[in-house]
Every structure is written in structure tokens, then in C-alpha cells.
Amino acid sequence: MTMVTNQIVNDWVKEMAEMTKPDEIVWVDGSKEQLEQIKQIALSTGEMIELNQEKLPGCLYYRTKPKDVARDEKRTIICTTRKEDAGPTNNWVAPDEMYAKLSKLFDGSMKGRTMYAIPFSMGVVGTEFSKIGIELTDSIYVVLSMAIMTRVGQSVIDELNAGADFTRCLHSKAQIDETEKYIVHFPEDNTIWSINSAYGGNVLLGKKCLALRIGSYLGKQEGWMAEHMLILKIENPQGEARYVCGAFPSACGKTNLAMLTPPEYFREKGYKVSTIGDDISWLRIGSDGRLYAVNPENGFFGVAPGTNEKSNPNALKTTHKNTIFTNVARNLDDNTVWWERLDKNPPENGEDWQGNPWNGKTSTEKGAHPNSRFTAPAENCPIIADEFFTGEGVPISAIIFGGRRAKAEPLVYEARDWNHGVFIGSAMASETTAAANGKVGVVRHDPMAMLPFCGYNMADYFQHWIDMGKKMTNPPKIFHVNWFRTDENDEFLWPGFGDNLRAVLWMLDRCEGKAGAVETPLGYEPKPEDLDVNGLNVTPEILEKLLKIDKADWENEIKGIEEFYSQFPDLPQEIKDNFDRLKREVEKM
Ligand code: GTP
Ligand code: SPV
Ligand code: MN
């Protein structure tokens, strides 16, 4: 590969190497040959395990330490000069103080190890939407994962040599010491430092750290948006394509919606669905006044448990080659992988995610960690859309906010206008999941599914949404969904997965003025007959339960929103007005 001639890059790499003191520095060129060589090193040290190469060609197994299994929000920090720029929802430390503290931890952290320098692009190299980063790391897991999740290699070096700016990403697994783990962002310096973790979102720095936290900060300054959103393409029987984005918190259904298989009834009618992205969207306003989205990633880092032939056959097929499996269970008889609800045939001679002997037929313990994941190339996805490869934005008809809510939130409703939609997004809440360290199943506010990912003051972020709305002549319509409402027996009322298309098609019809609705205190809801439930075993009574808006529940919601908002001294007036209207209308119910 061509040498890096950009002096700024070389000076920075030299400085980081002087601090971390690796034995050598290896530039990653993204070539098959070099990645193969690097992989062999990980196999020889046991950092990674090769899986059955006939059944799972190119696939690897990777295990993290028992506490290093998810994003760590308590140890994720935004370092801005002024505390108020990080805002009340982020952990904040002054940049000087944090650099000093981390420099000590990084001092010599790569001794005896190789430092890999990974030049990567978020977005298709050379497109309007793309941003470049360099990640320095002492983890081969990170090298091989970044080669799947981002675009790595020569074309990125060419951009750097032509003088492109880049995000400075430094990672060391160090001793993987829980008590000294930090994932730190310096937005003012376009810099990310992560130490003492070797898990996913904490260390694949192009993803949540760059594409969302640094991305949202840059987006605010440069007039675009970085969002925790999937991108789905839907073609109707006439072959007309529509695109929607969806923001649901971690482990609340983005990958599943992004890869959905239409129910047979819709397939026969000629509907077709394809995937553009499953986690992150970068959005810009086009010259026609519409909002355009790209997926800046190149792969999927998806939740394994629950993925099966019925719930998400496309995700399953995506993971059959060149995939890294993290913290799933292993079948020692044929050296393959297994996770809860994959099939009814767990291994008897297995190993759980921590490497203990495990018999899936008799054990009451889980084989896979609830946040076990696959890291798979997007090109493997059987329904990946052509637009994914061009990296040109697609025009968004609808934005869908959603959460995991057993109660209160109905199946689907539509915002009255953009600002009302921004209010709905800012007030949304969801039950916590295993995607982040901490208690699971607790309802917490998670505006736009961005609470853990917004790189600046969330009140300013709400204002940015309002401002973007003002600049669009033809903004997307905004909706809210809840696939997770339960009945008296705690069973899900809605079948979910592929059947979620039914709600999406109602939304698209609403965008074209074709579907009915009724006005409620929350916004426009479909009447039971407005949803096409043909072929579904959902009775009108169940639909009624799914769509019910309960006054007492919403009085309670309003209290929760009030409390959440109380930490922001200056919320945009548009949000206050919409909240006041909700309060008045719920009171009238
Ligand atoms: P991140 O990768 O953490 O951002 O998660 P995600 O939003 O992509 O969530 P994902 O699609 O991986 O779903 C997480 C869990 O929710 C899985 O266990 C799914 O089986 C489950 N799930 C997804 N969609 C539905 C649905 O429509 N209904 C029900 N009941 N469960 C769902
Ligand atoms: C999430 O938690 O939303 C994820 C996984 O997509 S991680 O990359 O670890 O953040
Ligand atoms: Mn996510």
C-alpha cells in the first residue's frame, strides 16, 4: 500500500505511539491477504477461535470478559470545555483533566504488543456524506471488526494524503480493567480515546463514538443530523420505492425492522422490502427540500438471541459467512454457534458464552449472553438495497420513533406536524435492555433513542431538530410505534417482526393521503379498519387493546415527561407548546 504522506497524520500516530509504546506499528490496508495474516495471529494466541469452515466459512468466535459484555454508559464521557455543552444527560469531565488522567493509563499500555493503524471511512469514500477516521488499537478483534463494519484501506489513505481531515481514534484494551475503563469523546478536538474494554460499541470507534456522538456534534455545526436509525426501502406492487427511517433504542427492533420479511399476503400482492441500514443514519437536506439518508456503516453488529428462521431469516443468512460471533454459545461437536431461540436444538456438548461446559438440553442457564452479537458484512444480506452501495442519500418519507413499552403506548400514531413529531421523539421512553450495562426492564426516557449517543447538550439537540424542520419544504412525516404492548398475561399483543410492515404501510398511505385515521390526544391513530390485518390472527378486540389510549396511563406519562424535562432549563418553545397541548387534551379525556 501507498505510504501515508500526510504529515498531520504521521505526527499524530508518532505521538500516540510514544505514549502507548507498542513494539511495532502496522498500517492496515484492508486487503484480504493482510487481514488473513492478522487473523492467523489472533488464532495462534487464542484471542479468536476459527469456527467450522465448511458450515460457516470465514467465521470466527470471540469472547469478552464477563463484565465487558455491553456498552458502558457510566464510563462514557463527553469532554467539552464548558460543562453545559455536554448537557445534563452526559457524563462530563474537563478535557485537560481527562487527557491527563488517560495519558497515565495509556502510558506503555501497548508494550509488547503491535499497534494497528486502521484508516477507515464512515460512508462510501468520496461521497458527500462520508467522514474519515483513523483508529489506533492493540486489539486484533477490533481490526477484523472494523474491516467488516467500516470501509478500510487504500482509498482512505488516498483521501488522507490529499489532505482530508479525520477523527483521531485511540483504543487500547490495556488490562481490560473494569475499574479503569473509559470511553471518552473530545468533540472540540475531533478525538476519541477508549481504554480497558474489548467489547463492541466501546471499542469499534467508528460506530457509536464517531458516527453518533462526534457525528451529532459535527451535524449540529454543519447543518445535518446523525441519528440512531435504521433505513428501510419499501417497493409497492407498482414498483414505486419509498424510504423510511426508524429510531428505536438499543435492542428494541431496528435490525429486525430493517430486514423484515413481508407477510405472504403482501408478498403475493407484489410488495418488496430491502435493507439500507440497521443502526445509524446520517441525514441531510436535499436541494428539493426533502430529507436524505445514508447508512455510514458497512456491516451489521446485531443482537444474536431471538434471531431465527422465523423472526429474521435475512439476518440469519447474513451471518453464514465472514462473520464474527461474540459471546454466543458454542457447539463443540461440530464447532458451530448457538443462541437462545435460534432453534429447538441446542447443543448437548456445548460451551456457554463464558467457556464453561454447557448442555443446552438440560441446563437452566443461558448459553449465550443476552447481548451476544454477530458482526457481519452488509453485502451478505440477501435483501441489501442497491442504494446501500452507492452511498447516495435516499429521500425519507417517514421517520418512526419507537420504544419497548408493556403499557401506555399504543401500536402506532402519527404526529400532527414536524414540531409535534420532535416533541414525541423528545418525550419517548423505553424499557432498558441488555445492550447497556445496568438494570434491564426499567422504563427510562430516551429521546430519539439518542440518550446514550448524543455528543452535546440534548436541549440544543432538540433545537437542532426544530431548526432542521424549518429548513425543509417537504419534511418526512413523523410516527410513533410500540410493538411490545402486553396483555393481562404479559404476552405481546402484536405479532411483530414481518407483520410490522402492516403499520409501515399505513404510515406510507398516510404520507400520500390515502389512509384513514382518527384524531386523539397523542396524534392521529388508525381506526381498527385502517390497518390491513388480512391473514393475521388479530381480532378487532385485540386491535382495540393495541390502540387504546388510557387516561390514567397518560396522566402518569405526563408526570414522567415533566420530571425528565425538568433537567433542561431551556427547552425549545415548540416542544413546550406541544407538551402543553398534550396535557390539556389528556385532561379533557
Ligand atoms: P441494537 O443493535 O442494540 O441497536 O438493537 P436493535 O434496535 O437493532 O434491536 P434488534 O432488531 O436486534 O432486536 C432486539 C430484540 O428485540 C431481539 O431479541 C428481537 O427478537 C426483539 N424484537 C425485534 N423486533 C420485535 C418485534 O417486532 N416484536 C417483538 N416482540 N420482539 C421484537
Ligand atoms: C447499541 O447498543 O445500540 C448497539 C450495540 O448497536 S453497540 O455498538 O455496542 O453500541
Ligand atoms: Mn444500536
pLDDT tens per residue, range 477-511: 999 999 999 999 999 999 999 999 999 999 999 99
The domain that holds 442 is classified in CATH as 3.90.228.20
> Residue 251: CB within 6 Å of ligand 1?
yes
Nearest residue (CA) to ligand 2, atom 10: 201
pLDDT tens per residue, range 58-78: 999 999 999 999 999 999 999
Residue 330 lies in a domain: yes
Say whether pLDDT at 221 is over 90.
yes
Closest residue by Cα to residue 83 from 72, 96, 97, 94: 94
Closest residue by Cα to residue 395 from 448, 473, 499: 473
Rounded to an integer, the average pLDDT of 5-25 is: 98
Percent of the residues in the chain that have a pLDDT greater than 90, as a whole number = 99
Is residue 252 part of the annotated active site? The answer reads yes
Rounded to an integer, the average pLDDT of 541-561 is: 97
Closest ligand 2 atom to residue 435 Cα is: 2
pLDDT tens per residue, range 138-147: 999 999 999 9
Pull the grid cell for residue 201: 460499541
Whether the model pTM is above 0.95: yes
**Max Cα-Cα span within the chain:** 70
Instruction: Tell how far the Cα of 15 is from the centroid of ligand 2, in angstroms.
Output: 30
Residue 27 lies in a domain: yes
Residues with CB under 5 A from ligand 3 (ion): 250, 279
Residue 523 lies in a domain: yes
Q: What is the helix (H) or strand (E) element at residue 377, kind and residue range?
A: strand 373-377
Instruction: Tell how far the Cα of 588 is from the centroid of ligand 2, in angstroms.
Output: 40
Give the model's confidence band at 153: pLDDT under 50 very low, under 70 low, under 90 confident, else very high.
confident
Rounded to an integer, the average pLDDT of 453-469 is: 98
Residues 76 and 146 placed together within one structural domain of the fold: yes
Domain that holds residue 215: 7-48+72-222
Instruction: Tell how far the Cα of 279 is from the centroid of ligand 2, in angstroms.
Output: 8
Residues 287 and 304 placed together within one structural domain of the fold: no
Tell which phi-psi region holds residue 79, choosing left (phi > 0), alpha (psi between -120 and 50) or beta: beta
Phi, psi angle pair for 252, to nearest 5° = -120, 15
Closest ligand 1 atom to residue 253 Cα is: 11
Residues 112 and 188 placed together within one structural domain of the fold: yes
Question: Which residue is associated with the grid cell 484480504?
Answer: 32
Residue 570 lies in a domain: no
Residue 322 lies in a domain: yes
Residue 146 lies in a domain: yes
The radius of gyration of the chain from alpha carbons, rounded to an integer in Å, stands at 23
Domain end position, chosen among 379, 407, 435:
379
Residues 151 and 24 placed together within one structural domain of the fold: yes
Nearest residue (CA) to ligand 2, atom 1: 250
| Domains held by the chain: number | 3
Give the model's confidence band at 137: pLDDT under 50 very low, under 70 low, under 90 confident, else very high.
very high
Residues 121 and 31 placed together within one structural domain of the fold: yes
Domain end position, chosen among 542, 558, 574:
542
Percent of the residues in the chain that have a pLDDT greater than 70, as a whole number = 100
Nearest residue (CA) to ligand 1, atom 27: 496
What are the DSSP E strand ranges found in 289-370?
291-294, 299-303, 324-326, 329-331, 336-338, 350-351, 357-358
Rounded to an integer, the average pLDDT of 7-13 is: 97
Domain end position, chosen among 359, 379, 399:
379
Residues 154 and 30 placed together within one structural domain of the fold: yes
Closest residue by Cα to residue 232 from 61, 399, 448, 431: 399
Nearest residue (CA) to ligand 1, atom 14: 251
Residue 480 lies in a domain: yes
Residues 205 and 89 placed together within one structural domain of the fold: yes
The domain that holds 310 is classified in CATH as 2.170.8.10
The domain that holds 44 is classified in CATH as 3.40.449.10
pLDDT tens per residue, range 357-374: 999 999 999 999 999 999
User: Is the C-alpha dihedral spanning 156, 158, 161, 162 positive or negative?
Assistant: negative
Residues 161 and 293 placed together within one structural domain of the fold: no
> Residue 299: CB within 6 Å of ligand 1?
no
Nearest residue (CA) to ligand 1, atom 15: 251
Nearest residue (CA) to ligand 1, atom 5: 251
Question: Which residues neighbour 374 within 8 Å (Cβ) at sequence distance 6 or greater?
Answer: 300, 301, 302, 304, 307, 315, 318, 319, 323, 324, 325, 326, 328
Q: What is the DSSP code (8-state) at residue 263?
A: P
Contact present, 277 and 233 (Cβ < 8 Å): no
H-type helices in 136-284, by residue range?
Answer: 140-149, 154-161, 200-203, 215-222, 254-258, 264-269
Residue-level pLDDT at 293? 98
Closest ligand 1 atom to residue 303 Cα is: 12
As a whole number, the mean pLDDT across the chain is 97
pLDDT tens per residue, range 169-199: 999 999 999 999 999 999 999 999 999 999 9
Angstrom CA distances, 251 to 195, 248, 332, 373, stand at: 24, 8, 28, 11
Residues 78 and 132 placed together within one structural domain of the fold: yes
Closest ligand 1 atom to residue 307 Cα is: 20
Closest ligand 2 atom to residue 207 Cα is: 8
Which residue in 59, 245, 252, 381 is the catalytic one? 252
Residues 234 and 355 placed together within one structural domain of the fold: no
Taking CB atoms and a 6 Å cutoff, what residues make up the pocket around ligand 2? Answer: 71, 200-201, 207-208, 250, 279, 301, 435
Say whether pLDDT at 588 is over 70.
yes
Residue type, position 355, single letter = G
3-state helix, strand, coil in the chain (%, to 5): 35, 20, 45
Instruction: Tell how far the Cα of 4 is from the centroid of ligand 3, in angstroms.
Output: 33
Residue 581 lies in a domain: no
Residue-level pLDDT at 1? 65
Instruction: Tell how far the Cα of 268 is from the centroid of ligand 3, in angstroms.
Output: 32
Give the span between the Cα atoms of 79 and 86, in whole angstroms. 7
Residues 484 and 427 placed together within one structural domain of the fold: yes
Residues 185 and 76 placed together within one structural domain of the fold: yes
Rounded to an integer, the average pLDDT of 427-442 is: 96
Question: Which residue is associated with the grid cell 491527563?
Answer: 100
Residue-level pLDDT at 3? 87
